[in-house]
Structure 1
């Protein structure tokens, strides 16, 4: 921003301005008259202390209303979806339990490096649009343009994926749901439910997502308990099967035999991990709506490492324990005429049926239903905010910057929900086929998100070095940098270029565009915006590391509510509050 150019050169000028803003906040904290209260922006509104520009009206601000527990559960909700309970079975069938566990562990480590990068940037600069805005402001406006539209398309296309999966899950109880009429009815009901939740305002969204995400976490621990109890002999057959399925075909071949087949089995599970394991990008997207971003967003990023280990690595281990990679039901689904996406295709449900356990499959199916519904709700939210960020930056039509009185970018939400109508395609083509091509398309988009984050951090790191900024003064300090960002960038690039290799053996135009559409769109968008707008790469010495930080500091200095931890807020939810200490006279 132009008003901070001088501060980039003179750090003393920056600190002087910051002290002025903090003094301004202290003055505002005194008792105001009724007239002043009317004229002052409400505390809790994002960017309340930003000077309005000609492009963005003062009313176009997101509300900072998300508390600690809501952010933590929203982050979990964004990372736990259909793939973790259902699609993971495809990796097991194609690569075996050993490959599944190894690749999920390796890819979790890669995304831990990505999380380490985005955590430092987003806790320091929690702006609307998250990593999308950071890419455009710290690297190249063309990169921000690509990041924004890629993230929007990625999130928007997963919405119909989740709706299609919901239809298949309901079919576990009533197969008639797969008929065109009932299928269309389910799609309509789910779309309407998402609309109601997302337009009730951020506070209602956060509370709804909190409870839905809680159901996901409950489901995971139920499945872990099921795995442990049954492997030790706690099942109707009293069969302590232990790690039997690991002993029989730990590493299997896929497509071909021999060493090449083993390699393809490994790659198939790696690509399953690339579609399944996500998370850091969602925290970045909600950073502008956190009550206390420097603390609450930092806490959310720190727990990502535990979630990767518990939710993804342990899930890969549990799936390999309870279900054989060559189970007839599993192979029928992925290599025969079955339909991936039905709850019965979950390796957990297959294991329960094989052990003749009654009742539990229905409980698991219900929790899978809530999990998928919650994931779709999260994608609606994230896609809407991505489009809003694009509009604020002038990369999307200006009318999309409108935010209603509830703090909802209503037009952005309407555009996002148009993609949900793709779910009606299953009425003609069947759920399995629609799920397959949606998975292939969006996997490329997920990888591009992480590529952008790594590229942005590398330039941010160089900027800190060039401008003499001590990164240890940031709210979150990323260790092993910039090596971690370079490693993540290299591995993600390899996956991005190779995960659709089957389109070339033999050549398939349909498979090529399914696997590489997002990559092609990203290249076209980058070249088109760069040459059309004449953007240029921002050199490290020119990167604006001050940007909106004074406004953020001013906002945080104005917060009067005490900081609360996750478990403290959970206690408040059930009526448990700490007693205030009273000093003795």
Structure 2
């Protein structure tokens, strides 16, 4: 542990970053370069992810099929204006979460950072519950994307059985994730570039066709906002119905838009993280905001809320991108070939997203094992620094995708969406609570936030804003099951299961380990800090590839 500094009253406090780096001049090291070794005792992962990998991983992990296909449900449920407002509003919550995450992770860029911070800054039992919630969330996303890939492939043909596609996907994920982490980074880098190119192309497509650049020469502009209208009544008539339509869009946005957690999970395997991570957090937020806000605007322009083709596609569980508002618009405008290209690119997006979830889920399990909150067997890494048993467990979790062999794929997808929405909101709430305790600890221990590698603005108000928004949405997400005639046991369980499981995990670990909630003065801000500072001093950039 780093030597502590002493304040004017003689109390122990954490040193500022300037104090811990007084001797910090970058120097060369032996061939055993710090850039390819871990910086924390017991951590056997390798720091081989470059800046370009980190920035694209955050985008790749967030942009899946939801941005291209499921987003169309928002138009049907709430109308184009509700969808646009909901996505714009939710991006403000993501910003609040991102800046807090960035400050903590750049201060101490270790493996599975925010999961471990929850235990260090709040309560070990809190970290236990947070870690397993995040693991379940990420692991459940893997079969979700595999199911999506199966549906996308069947857009072209039913010749390949669902079971065969699922098996192939699991094998591919295994190959990519069991190789050196740099190869995972390369796969995600190029796949994420494809996703970015696709959404940019679709936004450009929207601009061109709305201005009349289509085979029908229809200059439709914002016609769908006027007829049938900008807002849709859902479940009820009048203002209540329009509000419920907006609420449904907000729930969808809370599932669709993420990002900072994926960037953070790569902190322990990033080269020169205190330089790379701040740029990555900023870039990912602004890019994702642009893609999701503009994407929600685009689909509301392209397809009216009463479009029969899109309604039928969603109600019947039509394969692939058939339900995508972009494909629906292409069909209406009699544009050929492009729907097949979109479907192919959406398949790439789904595969890439699932690949990111395998990585994040396995690293969350590895991080918990480092903290003693998961079996130590998950600490086992191969020669390339990959936690092999953790990856194996996640791939076993992916077998849940075989549920769609005997159930309607649309139903299975909806189950996973319900489970993941509430888990993601709990995860965001955990991050906000953790940051509030981190902020309080810095203040109580006399650490000047101006010395940190990254200082978030509007704190701690931004963290409170994010906490309130995410907590409320976690309870609101499954509200439809309480409406007259809407009760459905599987939907209720998948919507609220984690809200019941997390407190049980917290209380159980607290009783078993007799943990306590830390006072700000008791929070250990120094653990692993020596190793990070030493890594910075001895860091030698690896040659560009």
TM-score by length of 2: 0.95
Contact 1:341 1:435 in 2 (8 A): no
How far, CA to CA, are the matches of 2:467 and 2:525 in structure 1?
22
TM-superposed deviation, 1:110: 0.8
Q: What is the match of residue 136 of structure 2?
A: 153
Contact 1:99 1:266 in 2 (8 A): yes
Q: What is the match of residue 205 of structure 1?
A: 184
Runs of 5+ unmatched residues, structure 1: 565-571, 574-585
* Paired residues for 1:487-506 under 5 Å: 487-506=465-484
Contact 1:95 1:254 in 2 (8 A): yes
TM-superposed deviation, 1:18: 4.4
Please state if 1:418 is matched with 2:401: no
Pair 17,468 (structure 1): closer, same or farther in 2 beyond 3 Å: closer
How far, CA to CA, are the matches of 1:19 and 1:298 in structure 2?
18
TM-superposed deviation, 1:309: 2.5
Pair 297,95 (structure 1): closer, same or farther in 2 beyond 3 Å: same
How far, CA to CA, are the matches of 1:46 and 1:110 in structure 2?
35
Q: How many residues align?
A: 539
Contact 1:21 1:554 in 2 (8 A): no
Q: What is the match of residue 578 of structure 1?
A: none
Q: What is the match of residue 582 of structure 1?
A: none
- Structure 2 residue matching 1:480: 3-state secondary structure: coil
Please state if 1:518 is matched with 2:495: no
Q: What is the match of residue 540 of structure 1?
A: 520
- Structure 1 residue matching 2:71: 3-state secondary structure: helix
How far, CA to CA, are the matches of 1:98 and 1:531 in structure 2?
49
How far, CA to CA, are the matches of 1:546 and 1:90 in structure 2?
47
Q: What is the match of residue 35 of structure 2?
A: 44
Contact 1:159 1:376 in 2 (8 A): yes
TM-superposed deviation, 1:47: 3.1
TM-score by length of 1: 0.88
TM-superposed deviation, 1:548: 1.6
Q: What is the match of residue 442 of structure 2?
A: 464
Q: What is the match of residue 569 of structure 1?
A: none
What is the aligned counterpart of 2:218 among 218, 236, 239? Answer: 239
Contact 2:21 2:533 in 1 (8 A): no
Q: What is the match of residue 260 of structure 2?
A: 280
Please state if 1:293 is matched with 2:270: no
What is the aligned counterpart of 2:118 among 132, 135, 145? Answer: 135
Contact 2:4 2:14 in 1 (8 A): no
Pair 420,16 (structure 1): closer, same or farther in 2 beyond 3 Å: closer
Contact 1:115 1:304 in 2 (8 A): no
Bigger Rg, structure 1 or 2: 1
- Structure 1 residue matching 2:35: 3-state secondary structure: coil
- Structure 2 residue matching 1:481: 3-state secondary structure: coil
Contact 1:21 1:550 in 2 (8 A): no
What is the aligned counterpart of 1:388 among 358, 366, 369? Answer: 366
TM-superposed deviation, 1:119: 0.6
How far, CA to CA, are the matches of 1:326 and 1:543 in structure 2?
55
How far, CA to CA, are the matches of 1:210 and 1:406 in structure 2?
19
Q: What is the match of residue 126 of structure 1?
A: 109
* Paired residues for 1:439-458 under 5 Å: 439-458=417-436
Q: Which moved more, 1:155-164 or 1:341-350?
A: 341-350
Q: What is the match of residue 257 of structure 1?
A: 237
How far, CA to CA, are the matches of 1:7 and 1:62 in structure 2?
34
How far, CA to CA, are the matches of 2:384 and 2:90 in structure 1?
39
How far, CA to CA, are the matches of 2:18 and 2:457 in structure 1?
30
TM-superposed deviation, 1:341: 6.1
Contact 1:98 1:246 in 2 (8 A): yes
Q: What is the match of residue 324 of structure 1?
A: 304
Q: What is the match of residue 511 of structure 2?
A: 531
Please state if 1:314 is matched with 2:294: yes
RMSD: 2.1
Q: What is the match of residue 144 of structure 1?
A: 127
Contact 1:87 1:341 in 2 (8 A): no
Please state if 1:217 is matched with 2:217: no
Please state if 1:365 is matched with 2:356: no
TM-superposed deviation, 1:443: 0.5
